[in-house]
Amino acid sequence: MQYRAVKGFKDILPDKIGTWNKIESEAKRLFNLFGYKEIRVPVLEKAELFARSIGRDTDIVSKEMYTFQDKGKKSITLKPEMTAPVMRAYLENNMGNISRLHKIYYISPLFRQENPQAGRLRQFNQFGAEALGSDAPELDAEVILLSLQIYDRLGISNLKLLLNSVGDLRSRERYKKVLKEYIAPLLNLYCDDCHKRFKTNVLRILDCKNESCFKLNLKAPKLLANLSKECAKHFTQLQNILKDNGVEFEVNPYLVRGLDYYTRTVFEITSDELGSQDAICGGGRYDLLAQQLGGQPTPAVGFASGIERLLMVMDAQGLFKEEEERLDIFISPLGEEASFLAIKWVQRLRTLGYKTERDYLNRSLKAQMREANRLNAQLVFLLGDNEIKKREFTVKEMDAGIQRALSFSEVESYLKNYFRP
């Protein structure tokens, strides 16, 4: 075949879309229940938006973004994440002047040019939520509870919530000095990427997935011991709220999430079904992002969940048992006159709210019945010359194996009775 999908980009075919729709509809239902409203932002953003927010030296910005120059010589990027675009939209549209608190959700494709692997494509999809305008730990807890409730409604089990605080700017600057003092004499034992991180943002060394670096980090000083009183209080309050709501969690002092805009709360939700790259959800607080983008100080917290990775977990846990899809009515026309009349009846029945199909391939009656079975039709309306003369259908009730004559005038009342709950 001459044309194939671009590497790292995948078709979602009709026979697979049911589970996607289930995830998205359940997420939307919970977002609405929690009072979050949908936002849709453009696929393209200025490249500088992500350099300023995520960090120029992060892998996303330095290695993975799809960035190019448009005809106006502007540097444009296919969005690799959603938090920065949501904050950009919030600031650009002066949403803070409308209300002090905005609770927003999204479902969107994203793009990163990383090595394609299971659950990690170059075009991937996320749903997530952002709450802007409050620094209350209760709001951090709500975001975490929202994400957990979505997974619970989808039937997903055996998840682990990891929690940490990366403090405010002063806490982090103090901790960076302590961390550098620990790492400096051991730097030659760390990977090449960590050598660069040591110069640009030493905190990102804690996020390294290299096994030898991970082992070295286990003996590093802990950020939690260097939090300001305000940040420590915020983190304690968050933990107490989660405990009061029966949420089990593990404090992971090495969790930093690897992006420049995080402050205070960071968290991940992980699943053993995914191997070493086990996160299905990540999020946290980013109180400084609005100022980094030139806006007024705006505390905010949010999370994002990868749909492809969620599908992997659901598959591993046997949660793909979709309800059997059924067709209400299949009209089987035999002959040219019947075919023209079938068009009117298909339209009428669909208008009445019945899921209706008909044969378009001029097949034999036997072949049409096979198609009705394939579509799992509950009723088949046979329409031939004899039926047209009598102004009736021959109706086959497929489950019961019953066949009867039904006049055109009786169709509506018959269907109301047949499909009565």
**335: domain CATH number?**
3.40.50.800
Judge whether 130 and 86 are in contact, CB under 8 Å: yes
How sure is the predictor about 19, in pLDDT bands with cuts at 50, 70 and 90?
Answer: confident
Say if 193 falls within a structural domain.
no
Kindly state the average pLDDT of the residues 183-202. Answer: 86
Residues 297 and 385 in one domain: no
Mean per-residue pLDDT, 322-344: 90
Residues 312 and 331 both lie in one domain: no
- Boundary residue ending a domain (316, 344, 377): 316
| Of 253-257, 298-302, 397-401, minimum mean pLDDT range | 253-257
CA distances from 33 to 28, 142, 408 (A): 8, 12, 45
**What is the per-residue pLDDT for 231?**
93
pLDDT category, 82, cuts 50, 70, 90? very high
Query: Could you give the CA distance from residue 383 to residue 381 in angstroms, rounded to a whole number?
Result: 6
Helix (H) or strand (E) holding 63: none
Q: Which residue has the higher pLDDT, 241 or 2?
A: 241
| Residue 371 and residue 292 share a domain | no
pLDDT of residue 260 exceeding 80, the answer is: no
Asked whether the predicted pLDDT for residue 207 surpasses 80, the reply is no
Q: Which residue carries 């977990």 as its tokens?
A: 313
* pLDDT score, position 118: 67
Q: Is residue 104 part of a domain?
A: yes
Tell me if 204 is assigned to some domain: no
Q: Which residue has the tokens 């980013």?
A: 286
2 part of a folded domain? no
pLDDT, greater one: 58 or 227: 227
| Residue 105 pLDDT greater than 70, yes or no | yes
Asked whether residue 118 is domain-assigned, the answer is yes
The answer to whether residue 182 is domain-embedded is: no
pLDDT band at 302 (very low <50, low <70, confident <90, very high): very high
Q: How confident is the prediction for the chain on average, in pLDDT?
A: 90
pLDDT at 220: 86
Q: So what's the pLDDT on residue 50?
A: 84
Asked if 258 and 335 sit in the same domain, the reply is: no
**pLDDT bracket for residue 119 (50, 70, 90):** low
Total structural domains within the chain: 2
Whether residue 384 sits in one domain with residue 311:
no
In percent, the amount of the chain with pLDDT more than 70 equals 95
User: Is pLDDT at 62 greater than 70 in this prediction?
Assistant: no
Which pLDDT score, from 0 to 100, does residue 272 have?
A: 84
Give the pLDDT of residue 42.
95
pLDDT reading at 346 higher than 80: yes
Q: Is the pLDDT of residue 117 over 80?
A: no
Q: Residue 133 domain-assigned?
A: yes
pLDDT at 382: 96
The pLDDT of residue 180 is above 70: yes
Task: Indicate if 374 and 261 belong to the same structural domain.
Answer: no
Q: What's the domain range around 382?
A: 327-418
Is residue 123 within 8 Å of 111, Cβ to Cβ?
yes
Distance CA 166, CA 171 (A): 8
Amino acid 342: pLDDT: 95
53 in a domain, yes or no? Answer: yes
